[in-house]
Amino acid sequence: MREPLLEIDNLSVTFRRRRSVTRAVDGVSYSVAPGEIVGVVGESGSGKSVTVLALMGLLPDRGVEVTGQVRYNGRDLLSLGDSEMAKLRGREIAMVFQDPISSLNPVVPIGVQVSEVLLAHTKTTRKAAMAESVDLLRRCGIPDPDRRLKEYPHQLSGGMRQRALIAMALACKPKLLICDEPTTALDVTIQAQVLELLKELVTDSGTAMIMITHDLGVVAGLCDQVNVMYSGRIVEAAPRGELFAHPRHRYTHGLLASIPRLDLPRGDPLHPIPGTPRDTVAWAKACAFAPRCMHATDDCVRPDLPLQPLPDSPPDHPVRCVHPAEA
């Protein structure tokens, strides 16, 4: 195993409003090594984004409490000052969000935006940076980059904007790339291009990558290691082959049984998970999935069920479940 570049250790995030207290992330730990793609899956509101926003220092200052540790290259990110963090963000850690329009400057041409990133990170001339931008945009699958360079974000299609954003992320040659649903808004044919590009980046430059998605298919094709989140906690983690071949947590298992598969014979009915992610209980009381779980018993009503290896699964496949599915 390579040394991890980033280690998230027992990270918790609590939002405090006048009346409500939301524990959005509740003791999450995972790590990423150079050249590795770590997937985080889970449904809306499970805490995938808040986890990475917290470690990037991008959550609002007020009404938010972040605890735990995040080690990046030996430094504790959570204790870095704003300016140090900002430096790191531009230089070594890049992020690609789902919604590219909000991450691009609407009044600056794409080419200038990409070359500014280059200028900020390498000793180069404006002209050379422009030339490199063209090359980057081309590599990111933007046709006719010489012309596109002069266009503003609103002149590009959604897929094109997303690729421009990835070009910007690549321009700083990040050591760590965090992708939060980078292809969710794109058509699958464009998604395939973008994922191919990201895969290439990891293989060629040894970038460490976190891939947040709700699409189990994307995870299956791309990620080395997979973390499944539910209601603020990781409920199951394993290398992708192991996870898809032997899902053990009842939520993961149920999820895989509920989605139709393109490559399997049609006609088998789907087996939905009852209820919605809103039907949850606090982990401090019981398994948060219990209200929707067909295998729940009184044993599941215990505070803070541990995420632990099972006797009949490999040690790198911990599960947070009292009655796991058969291996």
Partner 1 sequence: MVEPVETPPVASEPDRDDLLVVENLQVHFPIKRGLVFDRTVGHVKAVDGVSLRVRRGSTYGLVGESGCGKSTFGRAVLRLEEPTGGTVMLDGESVTGLKGEALRQARRRMQMVFQDPLASLDPRQSVQSLMIEPLRVHQPAPNDQLVARAAEMLELVGMPRAALAKYPHEFSGGQRQRIGIARAMILNPELVIADEPVSALDVSVQAQVINLLEKLQREFGLTYIVIAHDLAVVRHISDVVGVMYLGQMVEEAGSDDLYAQPLHPYTIALMSAIPIPDPEVEDRRERILLRGDLPSPANPPSGCRFHTRCPYRQPTRCDTDEPHLREIEGHPGRRVSCHWAEQIASGEVQPMDSLVVEAVAAD
Ligand X SMILES: Nc1ncnc2c1ncn2[C@@H]1O[C@H](COP(=O)(O)OP(=O)(O)OP(=O)(O)O)[C@@H](O)[C@H]1O
Q: Build a one-symbol-per-residue string for 235-254: x at contacts with partner 1 by CB under 8 A, - elsewhere.
A: ----xxx--xx-----x--x
Least distance (Å) from ligand X to the CB of residue 214? 6
Q: Is 258 in the site for partner 1 (CB under 8 A)?
A: yes
Q: Is 278 in the site for partner 1 (CB under 8 A)?
A: yes
How long, in residues, is the chain?
Answer: 327
Q: Per the structure block, which two tokens stand in for 188?
A: 């699958």
Give the number of other Cβ atoms within 10 Å of residue 106's Cβ.
9
Q: Which of residues 200-239 bind ligand X (CB under 6 A)?
A: 214
> What crossing angle do the helices spanning 110-121 and 82-91 adopt, rounded to 10°?
110
Q: Build a one-symbol-per-residue string for 239-258: x at contacts with ligand SF4 by CB under 6 A, - elsewhere.
A: ----------xxx-------
Segment holding 273, helix H or strand E: none
Q: Is residue 290 classed as helix, strand or coil in its secondary structure?
A: helix
Q: Is 217 in the site for partner 1 (CB under 8 A)?
A: yes
Least distance (Å) from ligand SF4 to the CB of residue 205? 35
Q: Is 96 in the site for ligand X (CB under 6 A)?
A: no
Q: Which residue type sits at 205?
A: S
Residue matched to tokens 């911990």? 318
Query: From the list ligand X, partner 1, Mg ion, none, which binds 22 (C-beta under 5 to 8 Å, kind-based)?
Result: ligand X
**Could you tell me which residues are beta bridge partners of residue 210?**
38, 178
Closest CA to 200 of 250, 141, 153, 143: 141
The CA distance from 42 to 324, in Å, is 18
Q: Is 157 in the site for ligand X (CB under 6 A)?
A: no
Q: Is 27 in the site for ligand X (CB under 6 A)?
A: no
Q: Which of 287, 307, 317, 318 binds ligand SF4 (CB under 6 A)?
A: 287
What value, to the nearest 5°, has the Cα angle with vertex 191 and ends 173 and 273?
Answer: 115
What value, to the nearest 5°, has the Cα angle with vertex 18 and ends 16 and 22?
Answer: 30
Stretch of 114-122, 157-165, 171-179, 319-327 contacting ligand SF4, by CB under 6 A: 319-327
- Asked whether the beta carbons of 67 and 26 are under 8 A apart, the reply is no
Stretch of 101-109, 158-166, 271-279, 317-325 contacting ligand SF4, by CB under 6 A: 317-325
Q: Which of 256, 296, 310, 327 binds ligand SF4 (CB under 6 A)?
A: 296
Q: Is 92 in the site for partner 1 (CB under 8 A)?
A: no
Closest CA to 170 of 205, 125, 213: 205
- 43-74: b (≥16 Cβ within 10 Å) or e: eebbbbbbbbbbbbbebeeeebebebebbbee
Q: Is 42 in the site for ligand X (CB under 6 A)?
A: yes
Query: From the list ligand X, Mg ion, partner 1, none, which binds 265 (C-beta under 5 to 8 Å, kind-based)?
Result: partner 1
- Asked whether the beta carbons of 37 and 223 are under 8 A apart, the reply is yes
Residues 127/132/135/141 CA torsion (nearest 10 deg) = -110
Least distance (Å) from ligand X to the CB of residue 108? 26
Query: From the list Mg ion, partner 1, ligand SF4, none, which binds 215 (C-beta under 5 to 8 Å, kind-based)?
Result: partner 1
Q: Which residue type sits at 269?
A: P
Name the residues that contact partner 1, by CB under 8 A: 37, 43-44, 141, 143, 157-160, 187-193, 195-196, 199, 203, 214-224, 239-241, 244-245, 251, 254-256, 258-263, 265-266, 269-274, 276-278, 292
Name the residues that contact ligand SF4, by CB under 6 A: 249-251, 287, 289-290, 293, 295-296, 300, 305, 321-323
